[in-house]
Amino acid sequence: MKLTIGHLYPELLNLYGDRGNIQCMMKRSLWRGIEAETIAFGLEDSIDFSKLDIVLLGGGSDREQRIVCSRLRDIRENFHHYVEDGGSVLAVCGGYQLLGHYYKTEEDTLEGLSLVDLYTEQGEGRLIQNIVLQSELFDMPIVGFENHGGRTCINNNKPLGKVLYGAGNDGKSGYEGVVYKNVIGTYLHGPLLPKNPQLADWLIQHALERKYGKETELTPLDDSQEKEANDYIYHRFVRG
Ligand code: GLN
């Protein structure tokens, strides 16, 4: 078995170690004897989505998002087919915002990919803090760090989780992120996946199922250290 991960525009969308998400998925695959490779795409590269099993869009500043935006129209249609076909995607912060219809800043409105029915508008002040969620997808809480000026409205989509500590999508709905088909959009940096191995495995599992069929089962790994760290954060911010 083999997974190919597409890393979109890492020279622009790579805040707070979002690249660590790639390393985490690579390692967790390799440790299980699943071959894994990553292809990094620059703005000038053409992307063959049919070759990809997981796509990562990391976070970026408004300036970097603006640059990436100029390229989105060219990839939108193929990316849309990939998502509708069940392709796995992890989109973090700036990348999450770009999944939606638009990101409206004080200066302008950046047109997004419209892959998920959501939109983002800049609010007053930035939402910067540690964040803890409870997701319906997992027993273990999801932990991370958020830093965004945009407030995201996910319309009727399912959120990634309920906010136990922190601001989340807009600081008031009480929810964070989005889950649409096999796409996860979230404001959590950190990077997200090494802190939340359950999420990394969710992406890997869905990618393998799409490629090789439903019977794929992931060999359990020793996540005791990750669980301990997760538990520490949960108790520090939620149960403190
Ligand atoms: N520029 C976006 C915002 O501030 C996203 C920032 C990020 O990716 N951390 O909302």
Task: Provide residues with CB under 6 Å of ligand 1.
Answer: 15, 59-62, 65, 93-94, 147-150
Say if residues 32 and 219 touch (Cβ distance below 8 Å). Answer: yes
Ligand 1 atom closest to Cα of 146?
9
pLDDT of 73-111, one tens digit each?
899 999 999 999 999 999 999 999 999 999 999 999 999
pTM comes to 0.97
The DSSP bridge partners found for residue 57 are 8, 91
The reported pLDDT for the residue numbered 18 is 84
User: What percent of the chain lies above the pLDDT cut of 90?
Assistant: 92
Ligand 1 atom closest to Cα of 16?
9
Say if residues 152 and 224 touch (Cβ distance below 8 Å). Answer: no
pLDDT of 111-153, one tens digit each?
999 999 999 999 999 999 999 999 999 999 999 999 999 999 9
pLDDT of 189-226, one tens digit each?
978 999 999 999 999 999 999 999 977 889 999 999 99
For residue 88, with 0-12 CB atoms within 10 Å meaning exposed, 13-18 middle and 19 or more buried, which class applies?
Answer: buried
* Mutation test residue for ligand 1: of 63, 64, 65, the one with most atoms within 8 Å of CB: 65
Say if residues 22 and 5 touch (Cβ distance below 8 Å). Answer: yes
